[in-house]
Amino acid sequence: MKVQEAPQRAGTFSRAFISFHNYNFRLFWIGQLVSQIGTWMQIVALPWLVLQITHSSVALGTVVALQFVPILAVVLFAGVIVDRLPKQRLLIVTQSVSLAQALVLAVLTATGHIALWHIYLLAVVLGLINAFDNPARQSLVTELVGRDNLVNALGLSSAQFSSARLVGPALGGLVIGSWGIAVCFYLNALSFLAVLISLFLLHTDEFHAVPERVANSRMLGELKEGLRFLITTPSLAVGVIILCGNGAFIYSTSTVIPLIAQYELGVGATQFGLLVAAVGLGSVIMAVTLATHGKASQRVLLLSAGAFAALYLSLAFSTMFIIAFLQLVLVGGSIQLFATSLNSLLQIGSPDRLRGRMMAVFTLLTNGITPLGSLFAGFVTAAAGVRFALAGEGVICFVALGIALVYRARTQTVAAPVSL
């Protein structure tokens, strides 16, 4: 038996990293890893800076919201542009502007000239960049590896993102405590060089599933085409319904964790960084699992959505640092399972020409409506406390899941054949 198990384990290990055999994906993955670590250092540092300047949960919620309002406004049209242009070239532009944004923030903070309005303005700039960057970056994965290895590649991409989410916040907390907030911003600016180098070195002649460029169609017509496809495909619409409810909260942990850290647990910058890193730890464990097994289904999507709602609700009752840390590890795992499953279903279930628009909808409902979650957390915390805000968010997620289950049951009943 042992002789037979060893090859099986080796085969499982090989499957987990099969997309790394692709030069383009491997290079892009490494560049993104370095860049994402820097991004998460900034994500940790920015709310800490805002609270130092204002001591206001409303100001913190507003800053986070302003990063995503531009996504809400333009991302669907950005998805059309992503489908029209070469994604590699578009990403070179967005990553270059992101570098400049981080550098301005670093200089203003280091020189002591930073003011709240500066942070507001730079947050809007970052949001505009991400409206184009997110759908382009996610849909590029299919062009790098093809459809056959897409689920594995998305799992590895999620592992990369989650690893950065694990390492970046921990480093950010240590850097803040040792050298100050401005150093986090400088390191983030420097990290963008890694992804820019990787983009310039990609072998474009080895790309897969590259859609034909459409230059003469009307933008509104192309946008309607993508939305019509999504609405009329029940297997995809179920996940989108859930995302309409929990999308405002699955990536808003950067808002609620500093509130929990300061106002409920009373911990410092280092422990705050560890709490943010806990979400990354859970995410990376789940991402590696998904990359190994490489399957996504609607059933997994529904289970992960229910787990996220229950775990988020449980945070409202956490009183100890270690318990909150463990809860956030599980929250990170459930977020990763849900997001990767839905991302996979959207990309596999849509034609190449619509992939950018599908990822634009995904970005809209994960990042674009995050301002609603951030403002909800900020204002409810100011009025009734962070625990009440967390409980309310958990209930909203359960309501969205319930609506999706009802829709699923009805569409399956309509589609089912009549037996005589």
- The string of pLDDT tens digits covering residues 282-292 is 888 888 887 77
The architecture (CATH level 2) of 14-202+225-415 comes to: Up-down Bundle (1.20)
The per-residue b/e assignment along 397-407, b for 16 or more CB within 10 angstroms, e otherwise, is bbebbeebbee
How much is the average pLDDT of 344-361? 87
Mean pLDDT of all residues in 68-72 = 82
Nearest in space to 280 (alpha carbons), one of 363, 167, 370, 373: 167
* CA 226/CA 360 separation, integer angstroms: 10
Tens-digit pLDDT profile for residues 174-188: 998 889 899 999 999
Cα angle: 323, vertex 326, 327; to 5 degrees: 85
pLDDT at residue 248 in the model: 81
- One-letter-per-residue 3-state SS of the chain: CHHHHHHHHHHHHHHHCHHHHCHHHHHHHHHHHHHHHHHHHHHHHHHHHHHHHHCCHHHHHHHHHHCCHHHHHHHHHHHHHHHHCCHHHHHHHHHHHHHHHHHHHHHHHHCCCCCHHHHHHHHHHHHHHHHHHHHHHHHHHHHHHCCCCHHHHHHHHHHHHHHHHHHHHHHHHHHHHHCCHHHHHHHHHHHHHHHHHHHHCCCHHHCCCCCCCCCCCCHHHHHHHHHHHHHCCHHHHHHHHHHHHHHHHHCCHHHHHHHHHHHHHCCCHHHHHHHHHHHHHHHHHHHHHHHHHCCCCHHHHHHHHHHHHHHHHHHHHCCCHHHHHHHHHHHHHHHHHHHHHHHHHHHHCCCHHHHHHHHHHHHHHHHHCHHHHHHHHHHHHHHHCHHHHHHHHHHHHHHHHHHHHHHHHHHHHHHCCCCC
> What's the pTM?
0.79
Does 71 have pLDDT greater than 50?
yes
Q: Can you give the pLDDT at residue 92?
A: 96
b/e code 96-120 from CB counts within 10 Å (16+ = b): ebbbebbbbbbebbeeeebeeeebb
pLDDT at 200 > cutoff 70 = yes
Give me the count of residues in the chain: 420
Q: Which two tokens stand for residue 227?
A: 């939305």
Which residue matches tokens 């939305």? 227
Structural tokens at position 156: 């590895």
Query: If you average pLDDT over residues 221-226, what whole number do you get?
Result: 88
Q: What is the pLDDT of residues 77-87, one digit of tens each?
A: 999 999 888 89
pLDDT tens sequence across 247-268: 888 777 767 888 888 777 877 7
Q: What is d(CA 358, CA 211) in angstroms, rounded to the nearest whole number? A: 14
Fill in the amino acid letter for 351. Answer: P
Identify the pLDDT of residue 187. Answer: 95
> Quick one: pLDDT at residue 12?
55
Rounded Cα distance, 126 and 137, in Å = 15
Q: How many CB atoms lie within 10 A of CB 327?
A: 20
Q: How confident is the model at residue 131 (pLDDT cuts 50, 70, 90)?
A: very high
pLDDT recorded at residue 213: 60
Domain chopping of the chain, boundaries? 14-202+225-415
Region of poorest pLDDT, from 60-69, 210-219, 319-328, 335-344 = 210-219
Tell me how far CA of residue 312 lies from CA of 125, 229, 337, in angstroms: 30, 32, 15
Q: What is the pLDDT of residue 35?
A: 94
Q: How far is it, in rounded angstroms, from Cα 249 to Cα 165?
A: 17
